[in-house]
Amino acid sequence: MRALQDIFQKNSINYGWIMVVVVFTLSGLAFGSMASISVFLKPVSLEFDWSRGQTSFAYTVASFSSAAFGVFWGYVADKYGTKWFGLAGAVSMGFILFSLSSLDSIYKFYLLYFLFGAFGSALLFSPLYANVGFWFRENPGLALGIAASGGAVGQAFIPHISGILIEASGWRDAYIYLALIYLAISLPISLLIQESPWREGARQDAEAEERDFPLSEKAVVVWISFAVIFCCVCMSVPIMHLVPLLTDKGFSLEFSTFVLMLLMICGAFGRIFGGMLGDYIGALPGYILMSLGQTIFVVWFPHLVSPFGIYLIAALFGFTYSGVMSSILVCTRMMVSAKFGARAMSITSFFGWIGMGLGGFLGGYLFDIFGDYTLAFTIAGISGIINLIILTIFFLQIRSNSNPTLRFQS
């Protein structure tokens, strides 16, 4: 694979674009497999007579293990690089998906999704995004946006495919087919991963890198981490519970998974747009703008009854929530150094996964208490408002500490 990198360098083409394609694909498979739990939720809970709160807690377990192990893998990535992360994650996630087909207890369900997060998604998210971001010195937002859009594409198609497989052959065989699909695609493409020369240089000579930003790296990570908890609570409720919400309203599983697919397809464009916003108006203003959109649209889902209204809000929410995802990555990339990049993205992702886990569980728990999702989606909107307040204060903090003559990507 080093020969391929040499060919690109000789032709003055940034090998980073190969890395964009690789991370686009791997994150698509990982995010899509993670999101497919929403489609498995009802058939699994019905077979074992588990409540939705109990079943959706597996998503919380996976989110928390992704958070905790993501920080660990971030430290490993900053010290040793990410060359073998893709291969390790591919093997782990393929094995876990296959093992889910033999599920026989809720504890095994939680254990497998714990491993899914720790040795699958944690390896394939933040460390690889950090690597991609530092392949590009100019306008990294577009590259990160395209790479991150893979997650939305995966979330669009894999749950929909999962629904088709479940209806055709049952949820156990569906897990087996997903495992085979995952391994067939991820194993060969993971061999193309190469570390960014910028990050390699920073590891060898950390003092040589210059950084111009008004706040310290620790302060940046604290602010983003604080905001992202509420940001991810806001987005995780519909991601986890949109399909059950729609089927409860009497819509078919095929229609419901198609709505989720539409949401995520629009999300793919939203992630690219969010990345581009970071390049053109600044990473933090882009984050605030897209957060405003997801907060406005999330509260409408329980109140919609017409297919057109459902499609419209799903498309708008998908575009804005996904723009938030890439904006977070661009904020971290623009505000920290290359030598700290993987750790910074992993730490902010730690709190993001906590928010995702809390929101996913909250939706199921409140449904079990009240019998519908109205309060859960309302709390998602309130979380979005809290996120916006934190981001606004962060923005003002940067402005108050900056040199008026200094141009920075806030």
Closest to 376 measured CA to CA, from 351, 388, 350, 358: 358
Residue 202 placed within a domain: no
Residue 407 placed within a domain: no
Tokens for 307, please give them.
């297919």
Residue 408 placed within a domain: no
Closest to 337 measured CA to CA, from 217, 158, 233: 217
Residue 207 placed within a domain: no
CATH classification at residue 277: 1.20.1250.20
Identify the pLDDT of residue 264: 85
Tokens for 230, please give them.
């509420």
Separation between Cα atoms, residue 326 and residue 328, nearest integer Å: 5
CB of 376 within 8 A of CB of 237?
Answer: yes
Q: What is the number of domains present in the chain?
A: 1
Separation between Cα atoms, residue 124 and residue 131, nearest integer Å: 11
Residues in Cβ contact with 155 at an 8 Å cutoff, skipping those fewer than 6 apart: 28, 31, 32, 35, 239, 260, 264, 267
Residue 203 placed within a domain: no
- Say which residue the tokens 């940001």 belong to: 231
CB of 338 within 8 A of CB of 134?
Answer: yes
Identify the pLDDT of residue 196: 87
CB of 323 within 8 A of CB of 296?
Answer: no
Closest to 271 measured CA to CA, from 149, 110, 150, 383: 149
Residue 150 placed within a domain: yes
Separation between Cα atoms, residue 319 and residue 268, nearest integer Å: 7
CB of 292 within 8 A of CB of 388?
Answer: yes
Closest to 89 measured CA to CA, from 33, 30, 35: 30
The DSSP element (H or E) to which 58 belongs, if any, is helix 52-80
- Per-residue pLDDT for the chain (410 aa), expressed as one digit of tens each? 555 555 555 444 578 899 999 999 999 999 889 878 878 988 999 999 998 778 888 888 888 888 889 889 988 988 888 889 999 999 999 999 999 999 999 999 999 999 999 998 888 888 898 889 889 888 889 999 999 899 888 877 888 899 889 999 999 999 999 999 999 999 999 999 998 888 887 777 656 566 678 889 999 999 999 999 999 999 999 988 898 899 999 999 889 888 988 998 898 999 999 999 988 898 899 999 999 999 999 999 999 999 999 999 999 999 999 999 899 989 988 898 888 888 899 899 889 888 988 888 888 889 889 888 999 999 999 999 999 999 999 999 998 887 644 444 44
The DSSP element (H or E) to which 194 belongs, if any, is none
Helix axes 217-248, 283-298, angle to 10 degrees: 20
Q: How many Cβ atoms sit within 10 Å of the Cβ of residue 254?
A: 12
CB of 266 within 8 A of CB of 310?
Answer: no
Identify the pLDDT of residue 171: 95
Closest to 260 measured CA to CA, from 90, 40, 6, 113: 40
What does each C-alpha distance from 330 to 96, 292, 404 come to in angstroms?
Answer: 31, 17, 22
Identify the pLDDT of residue 409: 46
Whole-model pTM: value is 0.81
Residue 406 placed within a domain: no
- The boundaries of the domain holding residue 102 are 2-197+213-401
Residue 93 placed within a domain: yes
Tokens for 179, please give them.
């495992």
